[in-house]
Structure 1
Amino acid sequence: MEEPILLGKDKFKIGEGETAKRELRVVKVDENVIQVQEEVHGIIALVGASSSVNIKKEELKNLIKVAKEEFGWTDICE
């Protein structure tokens, strides 16, 4: 698998005096499959049967740009 491409990163306050760091990355898994990875550090997370990724508007724009330019997905819209 290729090295992930960074789409965005930020910090946010989760409590009094406690900040979490978040990074969003994308990696091409197959010709028709990409994987979006969200890493959050600074909080304890519970593991469940489902997962989700929070994506900002600018990160989505970056994801579309990477999919087109880096992965050759020219048939997707903006």
Structure 2
Amino acid sequence: MEEPVVIGHDKFKIGEDETAKRELRVVKVHDDVIQIQEEVHGIIALVGASSSVNIKKDELKQLIKIAKEKFGWSDLCE
């Protein structure tokens, strides 16, 4: 499997003195499948947590279509 590409990285405040860190990465699993990984570290996850989703090429096209039509993300390409 290839190295993930980081597409998002941010910190957010969850309490007066507590900050959580979040990172979103994409990795190619197969020619027509990508995996999106989100890792959150901080008090919410205690030691950390991660989840992932496999997306086929045609599913991504549908996701883009839904994001454009339902969420108004008109700057996405097909």
TM-score by length of 2: 0.56
Larger RCO: 1 or 2 (CA < 8 Å, sep 6+)? 1
Higher share of residues assigned strand:
2
- Stretches of structure 2 that go unaligned for 5 or more consecutive residues are 46-50, 54-63, 65-76
Structure 1 segments unaligned to the other structure (5+ residues): 46-50, 54-63, 65-75
Runs (4 or more) in structure 1 with deviation over 3 Å come to: none
State how many pairs are aligned: 52
Match of 2:33 in 1: 33
Once the two structures are TM-superposed, the CA of residue 9 in structure 1 deviates from its matched residue by: 0.4
Which digits, 9 at most, give the CA deviation of each residue in 1:52-76, with x for residues without a partner? 88xxxxxxxxxx9xxxxxxxxxxx6
Pick the structure with greater CA Rg: 2
User: What amino acid is the match of 1:24?
Assistant: L
What secondary structure does 2:21 align onto? strand
- Residues 5-30 of structure 1, C-alpha deviation per residue, up to 9 Å, x if partnerless? 01010000011210001110000000
Would you say the 8 A contact 2:35–2:52 is kept in 1?
no
Kindly indicate whether residue 21 of structure 2 is the aligned counterpart of residue 21 of structure 1.
Answer: yes
Question: What is the TM-score when the length of structure 1 is the normalising length?
Answer: 0.56
Percent identity for Structure 1 against Structure 2:
78
